[in-house]
Copies of this chain bind each other. A is one copy, B any other.
């Protein structure tokens, strides 16, 4: 492989992406499904999704990429490597949005990947390993569940058949929706991935709070989600003395506090949230007879997450025993904590340092396609700040210089990995 030594990353440390082009592409893509409030509504596998996919594919083909679609509609735009038999260094994210989503969530990861390829094309740089930009189907889960569907199928988290059989609220299946927009691609075993990077807005307030440009993501929190039901006794607020009540909302209030306390007990990465709560019959002068609520616990390692799970069950039992009211707990989702690959995380940190960007180690509290990819390939993520930590909202915003910085880190990290994948397979 002596002939290709001139293409190593060291030779391209001075390469820089075109931040203005990246921003322009983000704004152009954001027009597809643009909302009045400045956000984007582009649900998975709709005509708007198709339109956005076609724009991406046109851009990728314009710089000489080959494009492949798999059976769940994931798009892979590939820039050939000098050793095109090597597993690709991949980056990507998603271009479906929440119903009242923003311009950057997902879209940034896809277009940062495209900008890396454009930059290499402009500079006529060839990499040892091929590079790919993936557009993962239905990451958001707003129209079809499960969330992170395309990357989940790719990583074997669930089967293609399971995903294709899911239906939206109108009863349309994923299978039919894919066919309708012309994105039911070739089936077959997913290809090997040499390394996977994903650039993403943080969707949280940590980088902004610490005034850092680059978040070096160490991994993703594990998650346990629960449905909790408190069975009290509905009764009139007036004629029922306090001592004779079985108030389900009062027990629910205990549990809300318990969930918060459990998270604080497992600082700094422990998180506990009651995000959804339903009161029955929800009438001003009726003592609540039944309350259902959700609990979302997250932790950086499984030992902690298991301890938090035990603490939640203990809190529910204690609240039930004290009040004489039955409390049911059912776990409905479990995502194990997912550490990222040390060598890729190091490459991200090294890229940030080399480029002179301030950075800090962070952990992803949310799920991303990279979390599934990490099950089948070395993976890592690059976070950039978003305004006020707000995402999944039409007012989601991010600074052009931050987006450009993250893209430059991605470029360096991918070049580094493409060389290393090449060397490892030399």
Q: In the complex, which residues of chain B have a beta carbon less than 8 angstroms from the beta carbon of A288?
A: 274-275
A236 contacts chain B at the CB level, 8 A cutoff: yes
Nearest CB to that of A225 among chain B residues? Answer: B284
A287 contacts chain B at the CB level, 8 A cutoff: yes
| Nearest-Cβ distance from residue A222 to partner chain B, whole angstroms | 11
CA distance A13 to B236 in the complex (A): 36
Contact B238 A204 (CB under 8 A): yes
Q: In the complex, which residues of chain B have a beta carbon less than 8 angstroms from the beta carbon of A249?
A: 256, 274-275, 277
Interface string of A241-275 (1 = CB under 8 A from B): 11010010110111011001001100110111111
What 9 additional pairs, Cβ within 8 angstroms, besides A205-B240, A236-B391? Answer: A202-B239, A205-B239, A209-B244, A223-B238, A239-B366, A241-B365, A249-B256, A249-B274, A249-B275
Contact B244 A271 (CB under 8 A): no
Instruction: Please report A residues at the B interface, Cβ cutoff 8 Å.
Output: 202-206, 209, 221, 223, 225, 234-242, 244, 247, 249-250, 252-254, 256-257, 260, 263-264, 267-268, 270-279, 282-288, 294, 296, 298, 364-367, 389-393
CA distance A203 to B240 in the complex (A): 8
Copies of this subunit: 2
CA distance A209 to B244 in the complex (A): 9
Selected from B240, B257, B274, the residue in CB contact (under 8 A) with A365 is B240
| Nearest-Cβ distance from residue A351 to partner chain B, whole angstroms | 22
Contact B273 A283 (CB under 8 A): no
Nearest CB to that of A221 among chain B residues? Answer: B238
Q: In the complex, which residues of chain B have a beta carbon less than 8 angstroms from the beta carbon of A267?
A: 242
Contact A389 B240 (CB under 8 A): yes
Selected from B247, B254, B271, B274, the residue in CB contact (under 8 A) with A241 is B271
Q: In the complex, which residues of chain B have a beta carbon less than 8 angstroms from the beta carbon of A234?
A: 393
Contact B239 A365 (CB under 8 A): yes
Contact A242 B257 (CB under 8 A): no
Contact A284 B279 (CB under 8 A): no
Selected from B254, B272, B364, B393, the residue in CB contact (under 8 A) with A239 is B364
Q: In the complex, which residues of chain B have a beta carbon less than 8 angstroms from the beta carbon of A296?
A: 237-238, 284-285
